[in-house]
Amino acid sequence: MRMPSMRKSLIPLCLSALTLFSLPALADADHPHVRLETSQGNIEVELDAEAAPNTVDNFLSYVDEGFYAGTVFHRVMQDFMIQGGGMTADLEQKETHDPIALEKSGLDNTRGTIAMARTANPDSATSQFFINLVDNSALNYRDLYNPGYTVFGHVVSGMDVVDKIAATPTGRQGPHADVPKTPIIIEGAERID
């Protein structure tokens, strides 16, 4: 007689444990991780799909297509940011999807965050991104006249690699300034658990 009642009391406990263990998995769907494998080492970023869903979807579409393999960090500015994800080592622009609209994610451009690069048009981001080396409050959204740059995640490991990239000697290459003298290649980008 005790066994059935014991089983009844264990069932709710087991269900509670299953619910607790499934919650982090649900939260992780909104915070996927991507590993950028570079010629200087790996950088892992956590994306924030709650704050910037369209931007994260856009970035992940390029990751899933293998687009970033063979691109470089083509613009490196100490005490500012490192930018890459759209050009080959010869500084040839890769063909991208249509631009996406600027998202007001509510996240600030602080050290270690990843944001979308764009032209003067706020709705022009495609594949290029940058990682902030310092707190860059001037890049945050303020108003329609100062739309800023969409932050969509942050570095969770490999900030030492980011700093190593930032310290590389740079120069001018054709019309491009702040280009690493030795190409820093993104060898691949993939989602990780």
The average pLDDT across 32-50 equals 98
The total domain count for the chain is 1
Structure letter (DSSP) for residue 94: P
In a domain, 12, yes or no: no
Please state, in angstroms and rounded to a whole number, the distance separating the CA atoms of residues 78 and 88. 21
Q: What CATH number has the domain bearing residue 161? A: 2.40.100.10
| 84 confidence band (pLDDT: 50, 70, 90) | very high
Output the six-digit token pair for 157: 């490991």
Q: Measure the CA angle with vertex 123, ends 122 and 124; round to 5°.
A: 95
In a domain, 84, yes or no: yes
In a domain, 40, yes or no: yes
Enter the pTM of the model: 0.86
Output the six-digit token pair for 20: 């607790």
Q: Which pLDDT tens digit goes with each residue over 165-179?
A: 999 999 999 999 999
The average pLDDT across 155-171 equals 98
